[in-house]
Amino acid sequence: MATTNHERVGKALDLLREGLKPFVSRELEAKYGKYWVTTVTSGWPRDLDWGNE
């Protein structure tokens, strides 16, 4: 079965995410410290609506 464009784009985005993860983590830790995840996500609503029904 042929690979669809949707699958190609999805794979490309997965590869991009994996490639950027170390850079983003390093830069955010340098700016906000060891617990940067807590700092970065502090303004997010507690009950996220993911659109799942």
AA letter at 28: L
Distance CA 9, CA 29 (A): 29
Measured CA to CA, the distance from residue 51 to residue 53 in angstroms comes to: 6
Look up residue 50 and give its two tokens: 């993911």
For residue 32, how many other CB atoms are within 10 A of its CB?
Answer: 13
Between the CA of residue 12 and those of 6, 15, 36, 42, what are the distances in Å? 10, 5, 27, 30
What's this model's pTM, rounded to 2 decimal places? 0.66
The model's pLDDT over 1-53, given as tens digits with 9 standing for 90+, comes to 889 999 999 999 999 999 999 999 999 999 999 999 999 988 887 766 666 65
